[in-house]
Amino acid sequence: MIDVSCFVGPGPLVARPLSTPEAVEALLRREGVTGAGVSPMAGLFGSDPAANDELVRSPFFRPIPIVDPRWANVTAHLDRYRRQGCPAVRISPGSHGYRAADAGGLKRTCGSLGLVLVLQMRVADPRNLPKGLRLGEVDVDDAIRLALVVPAVPMVVAGARAGELSAVLTASAESVCADLSLAEEPDVLRRAVAAHGARRLLVGTHAPFLTPAAARQKLAAAGLPPADLEAVSRRTAERLGF
């Protein structure tokens, strides 16, 4: 199983000992994860390129920097990440305070550089946030607008709820995929495969914010045919470079 969406490093929602690369890797391996796309947690809570200065690289982790289309020289940052072997970059418009559609130019640049664009719909359920911590979410119509920009550029929607996942995949091209990290409705994976095909769905654990056991349980509960199970659990992730 390949996880396309986990995080490491300091942040306000997870105790530091639980978010070190070693702790997150151990957590994921216990649930059968054999590799993961990892982003720096600090990049979710602040829009500073320095959050990507020490990207985690190992045989287990593939580094996914978190970027902001408003950065000066953002193209130079993207080119550097590509040369460093990153398969994708992640954006978090809700926590950074801009519209997803404003990243259309960034998506075009990702396409020209061969990078996958990961759109983080939300960091956490607003109802579970500590008092005083406010993290915005991406509106589903805004996500669709970005998905329709340069449709051939691969894009992964991460952290969508089940209804949002369905709406984005229905409205967009086959190049747009989605992880299941925050899609929590009963039987969500089986229904999503039936509606959109296994090739457009990915495992995302959202660890260490969430337990990766939930991702394993979604796969087990779906009762997918072997080919569909293989596609969701690893083949689509491998095709995208994770």
pLDDT tens per residue across span 179-204:
999 998 889 999 999 999 999 999 99
CB of 213 within 8 A of CB of 191? no
According to the model, what pLDDT value does residue 18 have? 81
CA dist., res. 173 & res. 166, Å (int): 13
Q: Find the length of the chain.
A: 242
User: 119: domain range?
Assistant: 2-239
* Residue 58, domain CATH: 3.20.20.140
Q: What is the pLDDT of residue 132?
A: 61
User: Sheet harboring 176-179: ordered strands across?
Assistant: 66-67, 88-91, 116-120, 155-158, 176-179, 201-202
Tell me the pLDDT tens digit for each residue of 93-152. Answer: 998 999 999 999 999 999 999 999 999 999 876 665 556 666 789 999 999 999 999 999
Tally the domains of the chain: 1
Q: If residue 109 lies in a helix (H) or strand (E), which one and from where to where?
A: helix 104-113
The pLDDT of 8-26, averaged and rounded, is: 84
Residue 101: alpha-carbon gap to chain centroid:
17
Q: Which pLDDT value is given to residue 127?
A: 60
What pLDDT is stored for residue 57 in this prediction? 81
**H-helix or E-strand containing 25?**
helix 21-30
* Residue corresponding to tokens 């998506």: 107
Angle in degrees, CA 25, 29, 33, rounded to 5: 105
User: What integer best gives the mean pLDDT of the chain?
Assistant: 93
Query: What is the pLDDT averaged over residues 224-242?
Result: 97
Q: What is the pLDDT of residues 41-81, one digit of tens each?
A: 999 888 889 889 878 889 999 999 999 999 999 999 999 99
Confidence band, pLDDT 50/70/90 cuts, at residue 154: very high
Look at residue 131 in the predicted model and tell me its pLDDT.
62
Which run of H or of E encompasses 76? helix 74-83
